[in-house]
């Protein structure tokens, strides 16, 4: 399933290909600025550039996401939290500070798109692994002092890896194979490598 980093990468690939700011990524959402369409990819949505050089969303497989129209990007993102890929250090630290006294599990907090938009179980597992925190325990029962640093650390690792990938493969074929090649260059330390546990109905990975 694509999360914020993968949508961020896709947006950059598309904009480079068309040599214009054709798309904007925010969390798990891709905004087509010329079409005024908002794309969400669910578990199996895809994109492709057809023979007429038009970018289209391909609904295939289980839970392909949805397409809806929008009038203003800011209005469409107003019900979402901070953008995982672009929020600054102070914004992330201020958000995590709010979690210190809550009884909610970290798994639920990280997946709450109204808090930080773009984190799913894959990168959430990596973040908590780096922070040495448990997704299954309440936030107020753990020392989350360094959680914001782990979020920023994992994000910067992602950006460097994905930027290297984009520098090498900025082309139409990469965009059309985006869903298939998502996991080929993701360097995960615990996701699908550690122990799988089910929390709030979702599969998480821990050591």
d(Cα 1, Cα 5) in Å, to the nearest integer? 11
Q: What is the DSSP letter of 141?
A: G
- Considering the domain architecture, whether residues 110 and 174 belong to the same structural domain is answered as no
- Considering the domain architecture, whether residues 42 and 15 belong to the same structural domain is answered as yes
Give the total number of structural domains in the chain: 2
pTM of the model: 0.94
- Considering the domain architecture, whether residues 73 and 101 belong to the same structural domain is answered as no
- Considering the domain architecture, whether residues 69 and 139 belong to the same structural domain is answered as no
What's 106's domain CATH number?
1.10.8.50
> Strands, DSSP E only, in 70-153?
82-83, 116-117
- Considering the domain architecture, whether residues 192 and 177 belong to the same structural domain is answered as no
- Residue found under tokens 């295939």: 60
Q: Which residues contact 58 (CB under 8 A, 6 or more apart)?
A: 45, 46, 47, 48, 64
Residue 117 belongs to a domain: yes
- Residue found under tokens 């500070």: 97
- Considering the domain architecture, whether residues 192 and 130 belong to the same structural domain is answered as yes
Label the pairing between strands 82-83 and 202-206. unpaired
- Considering the domain architecture, whether residues 123 and 53 belong to the same structural domain is answered as no
Report DSSP letters for 190-203, one per residue.
STTTSEEEEETTEE
Domain of residue 72 covers 4-79+167-181
- Residue found under tokens 């970290």: 106
- Considering the domain architecture, whether residues 177 and 194 belong to the same structural domain is answered as no
d(Cα 47, Cα 70) in Å, to the nearest integer? 19
- Mind listing the pLDDT tens digit for each residue in 114-162? 999 999 999 999 999 999 999 999 999 999 999 999 999 999 999 999 9
- Mind listing the pLDDT tens digit for each residue in 178-187? 988 877 778 8
Residue 199 bridge partners (DSSP): 202
Residue 130: what pLDDT? Answer: 98
For residue 77 the two structure tokens come to 């993102």
């Amino acid at each position: 399933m694509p999360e914020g980093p993968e949508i961020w990468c896709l947006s950059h690939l598309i904009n480079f290909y068309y040599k214009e700011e054709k798309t904007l990524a925010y969390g798990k959402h891709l905004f087509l600025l010329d079409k005024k369409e908002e794309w969400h990819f669910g578990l199996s949505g895809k994109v492709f550039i057809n023979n007429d050089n038009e970018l289209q969303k391909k609904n295939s497989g289980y839970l392909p996401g949805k397409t809806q129209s929008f009038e203003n990007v800011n209005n469409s993102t107003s019900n979402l939290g901070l953008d995982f890929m672009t929020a600054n250090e102070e914004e992330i630290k201020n958000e995590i500070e709010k979690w210190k006294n809550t009884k909610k599990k970290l798994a639920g907090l990280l997946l709450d798109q109204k808090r930080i938009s773009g984190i799913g179980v894959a990168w959430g597992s990596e973040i908590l692994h780096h922070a040495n925190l448990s997704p299954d325990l309440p936030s107020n029962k753990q020392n989350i002092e360094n959680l914001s640093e782990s979020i920023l650390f994992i994000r910067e690792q992602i950006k460097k890896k994905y930027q290297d990938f984009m520098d090498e493969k900025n082309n139409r074929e990469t965009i059309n194979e985006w869903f298939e090649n998502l996991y080929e260059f993701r360097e995960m330390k615990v996701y699908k490598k550690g122990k799988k546990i089910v929390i709030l109905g979702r599969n998480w990975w821990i050591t």
